[in-house]
Structure 1
Amino acid sequence: MSLASPVRQKSGLALFWAVTFTTSWAFWLVAILLGGPPTSSPTVIPYLLGGFGPVIGAIVLRVHRARRREPAPAHAVSSRPSARWFWTVPLLVLASATVVAAALLAEVLGGPALNLTTGRNLIATVGGPVPFLVSMLIGGPLAEEPGWRGTAYPRLRSSMTRLRAGLLLGVVWAGWHLPLFFIPGTLQAGFGLLSWSGLLFILNVIPMALLTGYAYDRGGVPASIAVHFGVNTTIALLTINSPVTQALVLVVQAVVGFGLLGRRSLVRPPVTD
């Protein structure tokens, strides 16, 4: 199989960044100007569409690549082999476990106790477990992972180690969320950008990028979707909004992420022409 050169991969990455950020931020700017909560019409429409910016960027890049008959990135992971799906469930459990472990540790250290009441109320509000799980799967994992991990990550890997690619993508991914702090009614707006919770939300995206990057290397986009889904769903069910617990989630996921990457991540990948 022929592989794209690093120069072409960087060109494709620039196109992906441009489409993703322009699409997401444009829709979210409309949501900000409308001023209503993201769960009510008409704000809900641009709010939801903005979340699909990474997928739109991925689609545009794939169409662009197909028209120019360019090969796949060297580090792209195929999701077709059934063996790769083996990683999906274990990584989902691991992702959820990092959040649970942080919440338990916070309780031991005198922080907020585990409380499922708010999570149960949230499930009831959206109509039950199935609608809740579907909404958690679509709003984030399915809307973002084909772009961040399926498109951007392999191109970053053309000239970076897994660790550097994961960290850089984590920083970009964190910055992508910034407009959400200005849409009334979002989780981010509830935190406030200039608060400890807001800052920790931004920082927490970075170790999560390491976990999803590792998952992509093991099982492709389905595995990265599973990790993203596991973290988001567990955070929602346990109502992780205390700075103490958020900080411990950051620490636990950073330790696990660096541990999974290991020393092999420090080896610079070969450049394939």
Structure 2
Amino acid sequence: MTTKRTSPQSGLRRPLVVFFALTFLFGWGALASLIAFGGLMEPVLGPPSGTHPVFVLAVYSPEFAALYVIWREGGLRDVRDHLRRLTLWRMPAGWWLFLLLAMPAGKYVSALLNGTAAEFPFSPWYMVLPALIPALLLGPIEELGWRGYAQPMLQRRFNPLVTSLVLGFFWGLWHLPAFLLSGTPQSAWSFGPFMLGAFALSIIMTPLFNVSRGSILIPALFHFQANIPAYPEGQPWENYVFALVAVVMVIWKRDHFFSRDGAVTDVVLRTR
């Protein structure tokens, strides 16, 4: 599981810097165009929303950036072997239980604190089914870039806790234009609590990523659960709830977070 260059001329001098630069340039650029020219686009593409085609392109910017950098570093073979990490699913049963239960539990605790736990956002109930499609095809795809590329690259230099905080900062900041765009879920939220939640979820996903040997599938499933629209509204409380979970996790798994032993640093999955 190593990234190899096809030749000295084919690689990038600072690939991680290029990844973050392209992610923000493409993502922020797409949303800036939607903010500035959304009215002109509306007759053809519809009003600004979380499923607007330009918004979707912005959401896909981390994986576009990752695939480009990986291709420049190692060619199409590395791109293929990077995507093979979507097939990694093995991890201890306890972590699978955490993956399946932590997000729903956190969402409903947050809704209880918010006084909205009895609410269901869809009527009739089966209208939630088509709403699951964008939840599956948008946020989880980000993980090809954030956890699939940036996380292992950062863990080459930092321990998992510092990596989580650095990645959480960039991940949260990257969402900023969505708070300025009407029609998106973020337009109704406060950015400060959201940033706290980005740090928290980044910390929570780190051990899931590492114990699964660098799976992209596992963080994508966690991200999908975070975006499922069937949960009652828990903002801003869910950011505080998951921040508490993150603190408990760091204390509980401090050997994991403060040591680079077991931290996945490979971008591609090679066949031995």
What is residue 139 of structure 1 aligned with on the other side?
138
User: In 2, are the aligned partners of 1:160 and 1:269 still within 8 Å (CA)?
Assistant: no
User: In 2, are the aligned partners of 1:158 and 1:269 still within 8 Å (CA)?
Assistant: no
What is residue 194 of structure 1 aligned with on the other side?
none
Pairing 1:29-178 to 2, within 5 Å after superposition: 29-36=32-39, 41=46, 43=48, 44-67=52-75, 78-81=85-88, 83-84=90-91, 90-104=98-112, 106=113, 111-117=114-120, 119-121=121-123, 128-142=127-141, 144-178=142-176
Superposition RMSD in Å: 3.5
What is residue 233 of structure 2 aligned with on the other side?
239
Shift of 1:156: 0.1
Q: Deviations over 1:211-232 (max 9, x none)?
A: 2222211231111011111222
C-alpha separation between the residues in 1 aligned to 2:27 and 2:135? 18
Q: CA, structure 1 residues 42+163, in 2 after alignment: closer, same or farther (shift >3 Å)?
A: same
C-alpha separation between the residues in 2 aligned to 1:84 and 1:55? 24
Shift of 1:205: 0.8
What is residue 248 of structure 1 aligned with on the other side?
240
C-alpha separation between the residues in 2 aligned to 1:10 and 1:77? 25
Higher helix share: 1
Q: Which amino acid aligns with 2:201?
A: M
When structure 1 is superposed on structure 2, of 130-139 and 247-256 the one drifting more is: 247-256
Q: CA, structure 1 residues 250+270, in 2 after alignment: closer, same or farther (shift >3 Å)?
A: closer
SS at match of 1:146: coil
Shift of 1:206: 0.7
What is residue 217 of structure 1 aligned with on the other side?
210
Q: Deviations over 1:49-101 (max 9, x none)?
A: 111011101110121122398899xxx99454553496556413222222223
What is residue 256 of structure 2 aligned with on the other side?
264
Matched pairs, number:
249
When structure 1 is superposed on structure 2, of 154-163 and 176-185 the one drifting more is: 176-185
Shift of 1:135: 1.4
User: In 1, are the aligned partners of 2:103 and 2:226 still within 8 Å (CA)?
Assistant: yes
TM-score (norm 1): 0.76
Q: Which amino acid aligns with 2:19?
A: F
Q: Does 1:202 align with 2:201?
A: no
What is residue 181 of structure 1 aligned with on the other side?
179
User: In 1, are the aligned partners of 2:3 and 2:74 still within 8 Å (CA)?
Assistant: no
Q: Deviations over 1:135-192 (max 9, x none)?
A: 11112112x001000000000000111111011100111110111111112222223x
SS at match of 1:83: coil
C-alpha separation between the residues in 2 aligned to 1:240 and 1:256? 20
TM-score (norm 2): 0.77
Q: Deviations over 1:26-64 (max 9, x none)?
A: 1101110124599x6264221111110111011101211
Q: CA, structure 1 residues 112+210, in 2 after alignment: closer, same or farther (shift >3 Å)?
A: same
List alignment gaps of at least 5 residues for structure 1. Answer: 192-196
List alignment gaps of at least 5 residues for structure 2. Answer: 6-10, 266-272
